Amino acid sequence: MIKGIIFDKDGTLFDFNATWGTWARGMLEAETGGDPVLFARLAEALGYDTNANRFAAGSVVIASTVGEVADVIQRVLGLTDRSALLDRMNSAASEVQQVEAVPLRPYYEDLRSAGFKLGIATNDAEAPARRHLERAGVAELFDFIAGYDSGFGAKPEPGQLIGFSEIVALDPAECLMVGDSTHDLHAGRAAGMRTVGVLTGPAPREELAPHADAVLAHIGEIPDWLAEENLTPL
């Protein structure tokens, strides 16, 4: 029986490349000051396809924390002020227009009505993550929201997920972790949760399948899957 569901954010609630692909190009151009050599070098380091404006499946950006991405940018560009770089990244990310994987407000209202406890575990920073959820009109529907900087650690470690299960007073075995990367699924398995992979991020089915109880096209398919598996809380 599943009574709680904790979701990754980027690539799970929001289509990853549809949201971040074009935005990332502007960020890379700004950080490299229009220098084409530096731009190409940074794009390669971040696994960013400048022709398609998409991140490759193996990009460090997909599952890493904002801090880890900042470390790559700092190293490639030789920047000395990491704090200022993080401030620029978090400020810009807070304003990006997210592309919802499914209409989120009715989706999460339905899950709450069905009796599920709901959480978010993201390797984004908590402040911009909350702004994305607020802009989508769903922040208040979650019982738990954690970023990599919220005191629970970052995925693939299970700290965020264990924190969720403790706050909503559920055994991890009663919870489901949903995400678009192996970091999400490894965190779920390490926490003792069931896991579902979704294909709204760059990772293909064959990468996710060995670590997931199911791989679905998007989060909208989860209620039917739970019903088929007889895992609904009511």
pLDDT digits (tens, 9 = 90+) for 59-74: 888 778 888 999 999 9
Please say which residue of 62, 94, 126 terminates a domain: 94
Q: In this structure, are 37 and 120 located in the same domain?
A: no
Q: Is residue 172 part of a domain?
A: yes
Q: Tell me, what DSSP letter sits at residue 192?
A: T
Please say which residue of 79, 94, 109 terminates a domain: 94
The more confident residue out of 226 and 92 is 226
CA dist., res. 231 & res. 55, Å (int): 34
Q: In this structure, are 161 and 210 located in the same domain?
A: yes
Q: In this structure, are 120 and 218 located in the same domain?
A: yes
CB of 196 within 8 A of CB of 178? yes
CA dist., res. 145 & res. 71, Å (int): 24
Q: In this structure, are 108 and 217 located in the same domain?
A: yes
Q: What's the structural domain count of the chain?
A: 2
Residues 6 or more apart from 14 whose CB is under 8 A from it?
A: 98, 99, 100, 101, 132, 200
Q: Is residue 233 part of a domain?
A: no
Q: In this structure, are 41 and 10 located in the same domain?
A: no
Report whether pLDDT(96) > 90.
no
Task: Please tell me the predicted confidence (pLDDT) of residue 234.
Answer: 57
Task: Print the domain residue range for 165.
Answer: 4-15+98-228
Q: In this structure, are 90 and 206 located in the same domain?
A: no
Q: In this structure, are 115 and 186 located in the same domain?
A: yes
Nearest to 219 by CA among 56, 104, 98, 55: 104
Q: In this structure, are 30 and 142 located in the same domain?
A: no
CA dist., res. 18 & res. 101, Å (int): 10
CA dist., res. 167 & res. 185, Å (int): 21
Q: Is residue 234 part of a domain?
A: no
Segment 13-24 shows an average pLDDT of 89
Q: In this structure, are 134 and 196 located in the same domain?
A: yes
pLDDT tens digit sequence for 37-55? 999 999 999 999 999 888 8
Q: In this structure, are 214 and 103 located in the same domain?
A: yes
Helix and strand totals (H; E) in the chain: 11, 8
